[in-house]
Chains A and B, each alone.
Chain A
Amino acid sequence: MVDLTYSNGALTARLYGEIDHHIAPRIRSEIDMKCESLRPAVLILDFKAVSFMDSSGIGLIMGRYRCITLLGGRMEVVNIPPTLAKIFTLSGIESLGVMK
């Protein structure tokens, strides 16, 4: 699901396993709770250990982007595995300028 760590204004969310419509709302509430209490300058979504993701993951990323932007922070999406490249390309998330 997700491991969250905070240091020097950066909240890192290390996502793992499968992200679908069943699991996405739980990840969302964990990240949003920490974002609201810590107000990080940057939210880093790390996809290194994600083995599967459907469009629920895209909704999750877009929702967190809106959330952190409203709180005055920025977002970075890192370590996208090759198996997820296709859905990221299709989603148009690249145009948000958050992919590192």
Chain B
Amino acid sequence: MNISNHMKLSFPSISTNEGFSRAAICAFILPLNPTVAEVADIKTAVSEAVTNAIVHAYPKEPGTVYIDAKITDDRRVIIKIRDTGIGIEDVQQAMEPLFTTSTDERAGLGFAVMQSFSDRVRVRSAVGKGTTVTLEKIIHSAYDEE
């Protein structure tokens, strides 16, 4: 599997950057001619992961959120959303639908949405070191570009 394109972003964990990260990912995958539904899926999954980092990773003061996105030559999009924040004690529990530690009207559906809107979701986390969420999705071609 060869990487045909690659980009990296980093930004402070402030909520205005949720929209920025969606727009950036959207622009990055556009050369693959994704369908409207595929764009919506990736934007939604990225928005959930970035929002999680912004809401949970840095409770005291804003830290940095890193995005590393790759496109492979078999049209797979691999997006890593990483923080160096407090980490998640129990990843399995955090991924359960409706589980939330937030009191701010969060639905607790973040990971459920990521799982339903991507082909694959991996979460690695260490307490005190941070969390990396990896989202993968194949963009099917509307036209055969051979």
- The interface of chain A, by Cβ under 8 A from chain B, is 18, 20-22, 24-25, 28, 52-56, 58-60, 62-63, 83, 86-87, 90-91
Contact = CB atoms under 8 A, between A and B. Distances in A.
Chief secondary structure at chain A's binding surface: helix
A59 B106 CA distance: 5
Contacts of A24: 105
Given A20-B51, A56-B51, A62-B107, A90 B18 contact: no
Given A54-B113, A59-B107, A86-B41, 16 more contacts: A18-B19, A20-B47, A20-B51, A21-B15, A22-B18, A22-B19, A52-B44, A55-B48, A55-B110, A56-B106, A62-B105, A83-B40, A86-B116, A87-B113, A90-B109, A90-B112
A20 to B, nearest CB: 5
Contacts of B19: 18, 20, 22
A90 B107 contact: no
A58 B44 contact: no
B107 A55 contact: yes
Interface of B: 15-16, 18-19, 22, 36-37, 40-41, 43-44, 47-48, 51, 54-55, 104-107, 109-110, 112-113, 116-117
A52 B22 CA distance: 10
Contacts of B117: 86
A62 B37 CA distance: 25
5 contacts: A20-B51, A24-B105, A54-B48, A86-B41, A90-B109
Given A20-B19, A22-B16, A63 B105 contact: yes
Nearest to B14: A22
